[in-house]
Amino acid sequence: MMALEHDSPAAGHWSRRQYEDLFIATSGDRRSERVAWVAEEEPRASEVLAFLVAHRIDTEWELENIVVAGTVRRQGVGARLLSEFIAHARAERGSGIFLEVRESNQSARAFYRKAGFEETGLRKSYYSNPPEDAIVCGLRLS
Q: Which of 59, 42, 137 is nearest to 93 (CA)?
A: 59
Specify whether the CB–CB gap between 48 and 1 falls below 8 A: yes
Per-residue model confidence (pLDDT) at position 72: 86
Q: Domain ranges for the chain, please list them.
A: 2-140
From the candidates 112, 119, 127, 132, give the one annotated as an active-site residue: 112
Q: Which of 40, 70, 41 is nearest to 52 (CA)?
A: 40
Long-range CB contact pairs, 104-110, < 8 A, 24+: 104/132, 105/10, 108/10, 109/135, 109/137
The dihedral of CA 45, 50, 51, 52: what is its sign? negative
Per-residue model confidence (pLDDT) at position 97: 98
> Residues 3, 67, 20, 45: what is their CA dihedral angle, to the nearest 10 degrees?
-70
Specify whether the CB–CB gap between 124 and 132 falls below 8 A: no
> 100 catalytic, yes or no?
yes
Phi, psi of 84 (to 5 degrees): -65, -40
From the candidates 40, 47, 64, 100, give the one annotated as an active-site residue: 100
pLDDT along the chain (142 residues), means of 10: 62 65 62 81 75 92 91 90 96 96 94 97 90 96 88
* CATH class entry, domain 2-140: alpha beta
Secondary element (H or E) of residue 125: strand 118-127
